[in-house]
Amino acid sequence: MNENQEHNDQQNLNEDQARRSFLKKLGIFAGIGAVATAGAVYVGFDHEKKKNPTGKKVRVLTADGKLMEVDEAELQKNENAATEELTELQRRGREGLAGKHWVMVIDLSKCRNARMCMAACQGAHELRPEQHHINVLRMQDAEHTEPYFMPKPCYHCDNPPCTKVCPVDATFKRQDGIVLIDNERCIGCRFCIAGCPYSARVFNWIEPLKPANNRVYDIELNVPQKKGTISKCLFSADCLRKGEMPYCTRSCPNGVYWFGDRNEDTVTNGTTKETVSFSELIRKNGGYTVLEELGTKPQVYYLPPKNRAFPFQYEGKTELDPHDSRIGGGRG
């Protein structure tokens, strides 16, 4: 063995020992993510060996699922707990609900511009009055037809162009079909706004209505809102996780919204709570999606605005006041 080889071997040995000592340290300090005692579980504590133990033992659950007993004095609050919580919300938010494929049906013949859906949505997502995840637009298809109202959320496209143009993987489609945004990743480039053919996304140009106040960002609720990032309809992913209907769907007084699982072929009306076959509802009522020819495969279907009042009437008037803030900015 020459002198060089000997030197290299010694260096490798030192590096190996340093790595082992680092891994050992990591095992002690980073190994405990949750603490369980007397049936309760506490998340966000670290474990560090102390010289003056109290003698009182607590049982802890390590991050890799092992149960062990440590002295109470050896537990200390992990200042990064909020980060861990955020990471967990991001992880489950990206995964979505297994086996589901959410779909919405909007019955345009029922919409009376009550705008309760908008209010419920804006309240839940802490949006400014001028920001809309769902907007009710006044539409008129042709000169000889009467206007009607059309709620417009994000269509949660099965082939979403918005996610494909994001350079940082901040917006994505989950296994249950919902298209979400992670505002902790969003860099505010607004490529996704340009990529969406349905103008479904909004940008937080100014400080949000409610300050963050150290709240942990919930990717499924998009709250707290963050200046310089994108926001949009989430199909109320937080409600679906709890087994509840979306905010807009259950706040509508007129039976406009149906929501359900495409895999089960069922949708439930948010107002009447009636459950019917999704495919039959679409087939029997001439259901359609917007700009189908683009191949985006929206998961929001519309039932046509049949039984319109001729002439058009809204709150007893045939003409709408263009300055009425309740009238959306649609065509017509």
Residue 279 CB partners (closer than 8 Å, separation 6+): 265
H or E stretch including 284? helix 278-285
What is the Cα–Cα distance from 95 to 180, expressed in whole angstroms?
Answer: 11
Amino acid code (one letter) for 219 = I
Instruction: Check residue 296 for interaction with ligand SF4 (CB under 6 A).
Output: yes
Alpha-carbon torsion 106, 194, 188, 173, what sign?
positive
Half-sphere exposure of 40 (CA within 13 A, CB side): 5
CA distance linking residue 149 with residue 291, whole number of Å: 18
Write out the H or E segment, with its range, that includes residue 249: helix 247-251
Q: What is the rounded CA–CA span in Å between residue 139 and residue 331?
A: 5
Q: In the bound complex, what is the minimum distance in angstroms from residue 191's beta carbon to ligand SF4?
A: 12
Tokens of 71: 């002295």
Nearer to ligand SF4, 113 or 299 (CB): 299
Binding-site member from 162, 245, 248, 282 for ligand SF4 (CB under 6 A): 162
Q: Which is nearer to ligand SF4, 198 or 278 (CB)?
A: 198
Relative to beta strand 230-232, strand 179-181 is unpaired
Residue 281 bridge partners (DSSP): none
Q: State the Cα–Cα distance between residues 214 and 85, nearest whole angstrom.
A: 12
Q: Which of 219, 232, 234, 236 binds ligand SF4 (CB under 6 A)?
A: 232
Instruction: Assess contact for 151 and 106: CB atoms under 8 A.
Output: yes
User: Per-residue x/- marks for ligand SF4, 110-149, CB under 6 A?
Assistant: ----------------------------------------
Binding window for ligand SF4 (CB under 6 A); candidates: 36-44, 137-145, 156-164, 313-321: 156-164
Per-residue contact string for residues 165-204; x = within reach of ligand SF4 by CB under 6 A:
--------------x----------------x-x-xx---
Q: Is 302 in the site for ligand SF4 (CB under 6 A)?
A: no
Interface residue with ligand SF4, options 45, 148, 155, 257 (CB under 6 A) = 155
CB of 296 to ligand SF4, least distance (A): 6
Nearer to ligand SF4, 198 or 247 (CB): 198
Q: Minimum distance from CB of 160 to ligand SF4 (Å)?
A: 4
Least Å distance, CB 127 to ligand SF4, is: 16
Residue 89 binds ligand SF4, judged by CB under 6 A: no
Q: Is residue 156 part of the contact set for ligand SF4 (CB under 6 A)?
A: yes
H or E, element range at 106: strand 102-107
Q: Which is nearer to ligand SF4, 156 or 250 (CB)?
A: 156
Applying CB under 6 A, which residues contact ligand SF4? 154-157, 160-162, 179, 196, 198, 200-201, 232, 296
